Structure 1
Amino acid sequence: MTPKYQSRLIFTAEQEKCLADYLITCSKLCYGQSTRNTRELAYEMAVVNSIQVPKNWHDDSAAGLDWLRLFLKRNPNLSIRQPENCSLSRCTSFNAHTVKTFFDNLGAALRRSECFGDGSRIWNLDETGTSTVVNKSAKVIAEKGSKGVNNVTAGERGTLVTTCCFVSASGNTIPPAFVFPRVKFSDHMLINAPPGSLGLTSKSGWMTAEIFPEVIKHFIKHTKTSKEDPTLLIMDNHQSHISIQVIDLAKEYGIMIVTLPPHCSAKLQPLDVSCYAPFKTYYAAAVDSWNKSNPGKALSIYHIAGCVNFAHQKAMTPATIINGFKKTGIYPYNRHIFTEADFLSSSVTDQPSPETEECDLLSQELRATASTSSLNNGQGEDKRTFQSPAQFKGYPKAAPRKNSTRKREPGKSMIITDTPEKIRMMEKKNTAIGKKTSEATKSCRSLFNANVAIDNCEGPHQNSDTTSEGGLSNPLEGNEDILEGFGNKVGTVKVGDYVLIEFSSKKKFYYVGRIIKEARKHNGAEVTYLRKSSKVPNSFFFPHIEDIASVSMKDIKLVLPPPSYRKGTARMKRFISFKISFANLDVR
């Protein structure tokens, strides 16, 4: 007895499908339409296509509530959902270009060591906020119809303690690190914390660049990483994570650091994807349980470690951690884990390139929906060209950007432990304080260029069994009168000698080094380099991290006289000088 027809329909099934596709695409663009906007859009679509509608539609300039209810019933793939807030930076930064750059860097890092193949040496580091007051409490049983149901908390606003967690692609984890909002750390802050946890302090309770090296040392201690057994560490590129001290420490212990693109951690960071959501739920339950077990008392920062311990054990399970690495495509490595539909939200701000008239990043699905479709509007034999909402209204699109006078370098994914990235950071730091490139930056760049020359098998650093008799020009030519009487001709050198070593890139320059291993005439010697001081004239010092390398005998141009040490404070005593003038030589 069910009728085989539908009466009083405003739109045909094909026309309603165009409207449904438009609504779905808008939701994927993070600009979903509300019920009121959908009713207004339906009325506008009827007016544009000259479709007859009931009188109350014209009175309200919107479709009726009954139509919306039946429209959702006829299209079961639609539902009314509560969206989560997502910042504009996250919507626009997660695009195909930034994701491709990240996976290019990740693939290059994975190929550098065989021990990264099983996932046990691939780690992710990230912080999350743990406060004395949680945003959401568990539901409670109360009188039916009651409105003012409250739950006791420590205060109206909580005190923040930053918790830094570590997980590996094999499902392992190490004890977290805590940053308390205090000036001085006390041991009782870590009562009931996971065994082996690290306690740090900062005035704000946030992670800072001054204390982050201690986090890296904590990571090195528990993972037993070394140059023989390196690790790959993935983390975001927040300014507190990236510093010269962190890079030097990572390179010294064999840690390769790959940073995530900015504002993409919600999709590319395993801890954010799979671990922190259940961690927050269990942490809120632990805080709520403590409040109910201690009536009349306020939860303080000294109780947070115990709540984190409970949440850490429940949330950081091997299955949860492994799923996070798998969903992000980090391990197993899958650079095609994300499809075009995942990048739709970034197409709102995409702009046409100068070579093309339309944006290439707009998906084919979106353009196909916006194409003209000739549909019958169901009004007898009168057929018109139906205009879909994508045609007369269009999808959300940002206006062309104005030329900004502020030239700020955008963030990107990079392998910060590589020498070129370290050089850029040093130059950026020197530029920020209004200075030119320092001597340390120049020496680092020169060492990098020399290493490139070695890799390309060119320049004077080639491995050779011959001495410097092969026609190399003498770099000291024209300066013998300055050096005469002070230096010894290079014959045999011994451990402890200070020598002048030549480097070549586009021009020749020199470094001062000290022999630390017995020299062999044909195979060269192992030296530790000194740095020329930019503040104390004609003085040199040993860097905090030893710069050790092997050099060929043909690159040792001069044995320097014994050094003299400066007098004064302990800081001045670290500078040494030689009874020789380097004025006409490019010594660094």
Structure 2
Amino acid sequence: MGLPPTHSQIRQFAQRMLAVKGDHTQLGKHWMQAFLRRNPAFRTQKCHHRDSARVNGASTEVIRPWFSNYFLPEIQAIKPENRFNMDEAGIMEGLEENGLVVVNAEKRSVQKKTPGSRVWTSFIECVSATGTFLPPLVIFKGKSVQQQCFPQNLSLFSDWQITATKNGWTSDQTAVEWLEKVFIPKTQPSDPSEGRLLVLDGYGSHETVEFMYLCYQHKINLPFLPPHTSHVLQPLDLSVFSPLKHYYRKQVGFLSLLTDSSPVGKQNLSCYQSAREQALTTSNIKGGWKATGLWPVSVAKPLLSPLLLENSNKGKKDANNAHNAFNSPSSMNDWHGSRSLILGFSEGHIALDKPLDNQTLEGGAGRSERVSERTVGLLGCTGN
């Protein structure tokens, strides 16, 4: 979802489906044209490349249509415990936080020893809408995983997956490895007929036919986040990665007090494990899902985010409407309009489990208020 496939991807997908059924006949030269004739709801459109500063971004024009995916029947049926968000974060080994220190009053500046090397390590983390998390996939930079990367006691990392890539980031192969060894086996629903949801960035390694077909086989729906929207729509970005890096750097700082030599090295994973225990809490994880509006589902959450781009007249008009709703009204008409808008955003969100034009909200004293047309216009979601 959110990622239009190319002709080549559709052909490869169809070829794999045939192969699974034992048919290895190659698709004909004009198979794609025949596919489009059989499916008139789809058509081919030329994709125009645009500068990254101009394409998409966290704007109302991007977020509104993307959220429409969440009202598809097959997505609405997915239970919160089967909804997941995965993302990749990197840390520089031995990098600790800046902070205040006590020094001689005559000193103008002070420098602090930075422990460890400048080795880059990345981690794939995955959290659920109910506040649980999966073991990480650790990706070291190099041709292979070296023994010096590990502490003597490996009991804390028994369920972690460890690998290495040339640049220390996810490759096509490691993305599939994570699916096969971590996500698919550890999130299997008790009822095999139930679907899963995996919210993720549209990185190239997530867009390969092998990755997407593996998800298709296991009923895993993939809503790809629009480019440049992670800071608004990614639960891990909003409430987990920042404290995770904070606690990691803090742990490295503790080690630097205990030794004059480079203290991290084999303790790098231990520092990260300690940081995970403090950052990956149920409240932090649920807070990220709620802040993005991904669970409970609420398009109002990202649309009211201070990080939202106002890159069009419509976006600016909507933002002004939301802002003016909380100003003192100058007339009775303004008062009624502001009151309706505020009721629509009571407690920070609207539970969008049915079309807004039929939805009612409970007022502060148990009164039922129909969402005003002004609120519906702000959300850009009318159920049509």
**Pair 1:311–1:167, CA change in 2 (3 A):** same
Query: Which TM-score applies when normalising by structure 2?
Result: 0.63
1:107 Cα offset (Å): 2.8
Which has the larger share of helix? 2
Tell whether 2:171 aligns with 1:208.
yes
**Pair 1:91–1:290, CA change in 2 (3 A):** farther
Tell whether 2:317 aligns with 1:363.
yes
1:145 Cα offset (Å): 4.7
The number of residue pairs the alignment matches comes to 267
SS in 2 for 1:163: strand
Q: Residue 147 of structure 1 is aligned with which of 90, 108, 111?
A: 108
SS in 2 for 1:175: coil
After TM superposition, which residue ranges in structure 1, 4 or more long, deviate above 6 angstroms? none
Q: Residue 252 of structure 1 is aligned with which of 189, 214, 217?
A: 217
1:135 Cα offset (Å): 6.0
Q: Is the 8 A contact 1:171 1:321 kept in 2?
A: yes
Q: Is the 8 A contact 1:279 1:315 kept in 2?
A: yes
For residues 312-331 of structure 1, the C-alpha deviation after alignment (integer angstroms, 9 at most, x for no partner) is 00000001101110111000
1:144 Cα offset (Å): 2.9
SS in 2 for 1:362: helix
**Pair 1:99–1:339, CA change in 2 (3 A):** closer
1:116 Cα offset (Å): 2.2
RMSD between aligned residues: 2.9
Match of 1:338 in 2: 302
For residues 341-382 of structure 1, the C-alpha deviation after alignment (integer angstroms, 9 at most, x for no partner) is 7476332xx4xxxxxxxx333326669x9xxxxxxxxxxxxx
1:333 Cα offset (Å): 0.7
SS in 2 for 1:250: helix
Tell whether 2:143 aligns with 1:183.
yes
Q: Computing the radius of gyration over CA atoms, which structure comes out larger, 1 or 2?
A: 1
Q: Residue 64 of structure 2 is aligned with which of 85, 100, 116?
A: 100
For residues 71-118 of structure 1, the C-alpha deviation after alignment (integer angstroms, 9 at most, x for no partner) is xxxxxxxxxxxxxxxxx949971111211122112332xx3167623x
Q: Is the 8 A contact 2:206 2:212 kept in 1?
A: no
1:255 Cα offset (Å): 1.4
**Pair 1:175–1:99, CA change in 2 (3 A):** same
1:248 Cα offset (Å): 1.4
1:134 Cα offset (Å): 2.1
User: Mind listing any 5+ residue stretches in structure 2 that lack a counterpart?
Assistant: 1-51, 324-384
CA distance in 2, matches of 1:115, 1:92: 28
CA distance in 2, matches of 1:95, 1:236: 17
Match of 2:126 in 1: 166
1:293 Cα offset (Å): 2.1
CA distance in 1, matches of 2:245, 2:55: 23
1:242 Cα offset (Å): 1.6
CA distance in 2, matches of 1:244, 1:308: 32
Which amino acid is 2:112 matched to? Answer: N
Q: Is the 8 A contact 1:116 1:232 kept in 2?
A: yes
Percent identical: 22
For residues 164-187 of structure 1, the C-alpha deviation after alignment (integer angstroms, 9 at most, x for no partner) is 111101010111111001212256
What does 1:390-429 correspond to in 2, within 5 Å?
Answer: none
1:222 Cα offset (Å): 1.7
Q: Is the 8 A contact 2:84 2:129 kept in 1?
A: yes
SS in 2 for 1:139: coil
Match of 1:278 in 2: 243
Q: Is the 8 A contact 2:86 2:124 kept in 1?
A: yes
CA distance in 2, matches of 1:210, 1:316: 26
**Pair 1:187–1:169, CA change in 2 (3 A):** farther
**Pair 1:125–1:318, CA change in 2 (3 A):** same
Which amino acid is 1:304 matched to? Answer: N
CA distance in 1, matches of 2:101, 2:213: 52
User: Mind listing any 5+ residue stretches in structure 1 that lack a counterpart?
Assistant: 1-87, 351-358, 370-588
What does 1:222-233 correspond to in 2, within 5 Å?
Answer: 222-225=186-189, 227-233=192-198
Match of 1:312 in 2: 276
**Pair 1:101–1:316, CA change in 2 (3 A):** same
What does 1:493-572 correspond to in 2, within 5 Å?
Answer: none
Which amino acid is 1:282 matched to? Answer: Y
**Pair 1:91–1:213, CA change in 2 (3 A):** closer
CA distance in 2, matches of 1:165, 1:341: 24
Which amino acid is 1:205 matched to? Answer: G
Q: Is the 8 A contact 1:227 1:254 kept in 2?
A: no
Match of 2:49 in 1: none
For residues 470-510 of structure 1, the C-alpha deviation after alignment (integer angstroms, 9 at most, x for no partner) is xxxxxxxxxxxxxxxxxxxxxxxxxxxxxxxxxxxxxxxxx
Which amino acid is 1:246 matched to? Answer: F
Q: Is the 8 A contact 2:91 2:120 kept in 1?
A: yes
Query: Which TM-score applies when normalising by structure 1?
Result: 0.42
1:126 Cα offset (Å): 0.5
**Pair 1:291–1:210, CA change in 2 (3 A):** same
1:227 Cα offset (Å): 4.5
Which amino acid is 1:363 matched to? Answer: K
1:141 Cα offset (Å): 2.4
Which amino acid is 2:214 matched to? Answer: L
